Amino acid sequence: MPKMKSVKAIIARFKVTGRGKLKRGRPGKRHILTKKSAKRKHHLESPAFVAPAQAAMFKKLMLV
C-alpha cells in the first residue's frame, strides 16, 4: 500500500499552534478594500482559530 500524502493546500492555509489548535487567516482582505473601513481592515489582519469540529478533519488531511 502506498504512503498517504498530505494535502498541500491545507498545509498552506493553516498553522498548528503549540497546543494543537489550527490558526487560520481571515477572508476579505484581498480586493475591494476602498469601501471597507480602516477598523474593519485592521480586524481582518488578526488570525482566527478553526472550529474544533472542522479542526479534526483538517488535521487528518495534514497527517499531523
> What are the domain boundaries of the chain?
8-28+37-62
4-37 pLDDT, tens digit per residue, is 999 999 999 999 999 999 999 999 999 999 999 9
What sections of the chain are H helices per DSSP?
8-13, 38-45, 52-62
Q: How many helices (H) and strands (E) does the chain have?
A: 3, 3
d(C-alpha 41, C-alpha 48), whole Å: 14
47-63 pLDDT, tens digit per residue, is 999 999 999 999 999 99
Residue 64 has pLDDT above 90, yes or no: no
Which amino acid makes up residue 1? Answer: M
- pLDDT for the residue 34: 98
